[in-house]
Amino acid sequence: MADSAPPPSSLDSYESVGLVPNPDGSVTRSIAFPSVAATDETAATDSAVAFSKDVPLNPANNTFLRLFRPRLLPPNTKIPVILYFHGGGFVLASVSALPFHETCNSMAAKVPALVLSLEYRLAPEHRLPAAYEDAVEAIMWVRSQAAAEIDGGEPWLRKYADFSECFLMGGSAGANIVFHAGVRALDADLGAMKIQGLILNQPYFGGVERTESELRLADDRIVPLPANDLLWALALPDGADRDHEYSNPLSGGSYQEKIGRLQNCLVIGYSGDPLIDRQRRVVKMMETRGVHVVAKFKDGGHHGIECYDPSHAEAMDDDVKDFIDCTLHNFDPKH
């Protein structure tokens, strides 16, 4: 059951994101991306560039990790670990949704890396900070794997993972999760696991005061303003507005003094995204606090463009690979 009934909103707003409100405060998700099953070595086709499988995280919360590994790796090769969080406004989608499965599949092969995609709890049935808590639990699961505390360790991670080369990555709401989980993990004992960088692809941040890009693109076909407002209303704690610290990192909050300790960050954005102004503001705020940020703001495009355009998906893979390579070899990805 949801934490509380959703706020009043027009049915058009719900319908625009494929939701039907229920009397108990939950929602019925009436539109879904095509779903893709994990394909391990026994099920993959000859053309597969990566294998995948699902591993339980917390059965009580129905959370799990979908693991992706490259099909082709030289013997005795250890590769980075990317903990990935999908988008969907905290309310929609799944690791099995075709665009997110394909993103992780392609990235695992191209970087190359072990990609662990988290099936986290969705709002409004589980409002924030539930997704952040699931993300931190996933981080601690990787830590336990690095210490081989779970029955000797998950076989793919035991064989292929370089736990000293871990990255957190997400798109849209998943990038918001990266930011908040990254802050929460700063004081955690991660043992042999080391988070080297954060990758925020078109991060989903908000605020009460409208930005120029939100007003200019109020009728955007991907993130129209009424739908954006509705998703935040469904995701934030009961009674909170969009200046809550989960939505607006510039509004203050409990974690402000920690931001300057964040690892290197890659932030990707597009001028055709209504969220671009907020993304720029968060980048400026992090840089002011001393965080090394690689900002890749590009002309045109739209929110979630890599889910629709293969050329932009490939460009994102290139940006991620470059950032990881440069971070691990102490080069400046800005140059």
* CATH code for the domain of 237: 3.40.50.1820
Total domains present in the chain:
1
* pTM of the predicted model as reported, rounded to 2 decimal places: 0.94
Catalytic site residue from 172, 180, 220, 319: 172
Is the sign of the CA dihedral 217, 319, 293, 143 positive or negative?
positive
Q: Does the N-terminal peptide bond of residue 56 adopt cis geometry, omega within 30 degrees of 0?
A: no
Contacts of 134 (CB under 8 A, 6+ apart): 57, 58, 61, 63, 118, 120, 121
In this prediction, residue 10 carries a pLDDT of 62
Catalytic site residue from 101, 302, 303, 312: 303
Is 14 inside a domain boundary?
Answer: no
Is 115 inside a domain boundary?
Answer: yes
Task: Report d(CA 7, CA 226) in Å as an integer.
Answer: 13
Is 157 inside a domain boundary?
Answer: yes
Is 4 inside a domain boundary?
Answer: no
In this prediction, residue 335 carries a pLDDT of 45
Is 268 inside a domain boundary?
Answer: yes
Catalytic site residue from 134, 273, 277, 319: 273
User: Domain residues for 133?
Assistant: 51-329
Identity at 231, one-letter amino acid code = L
Q: What's the CA angle centered on 162, arms 159 and 165, to 5 degrees?
A: 160
For the chain, strand residue ranges (E) read 19-21, 27-29, 50-58, 63-70, 79-85, 114-119, 161-171, 195-201, 264-270, 293-298
134 is catalytic: no
Is 168 inside a domain boundary?
Answer: yes
Is 43 inside a domain boundary?
Answer: no
273 is catalytic: yes
172 is catalytic: yes
**Tokens 């908000």 appear where?**
206
In this prediction, residue 33 carries a pLDDT of 80
Is 138 inside a domain boundary?
Answer: yes
Is the sign of the CA dihedral 117, 120, 124, 128 positive or negative?
negative
Task: Report d(CA 319, CA 324) in Å as an integer.
Answer: 9
pLDDT by residue, tens only, the chain of 335 residues: 444 444 445 667 888 888 999 999 999 998 778 899 999 887 777 778 999 999 999 999 999 999 999 998 888 899 999 999 999 999 999 999 999 999 999 999 999 999 999 999 999 999 999 999 999 999 999 999 999 755 678 999 999 999 999 999 999 999 999 999 999 999 999 999 999 999 999 999 999 999 999 999 999 999 999 999 999 999 999 999 999 999 999 998 889 999 999 999 999 999 999 999 999 999 999 999 999 999 999 999 999 999 989 999 999 999 999 999 999 998 775 54
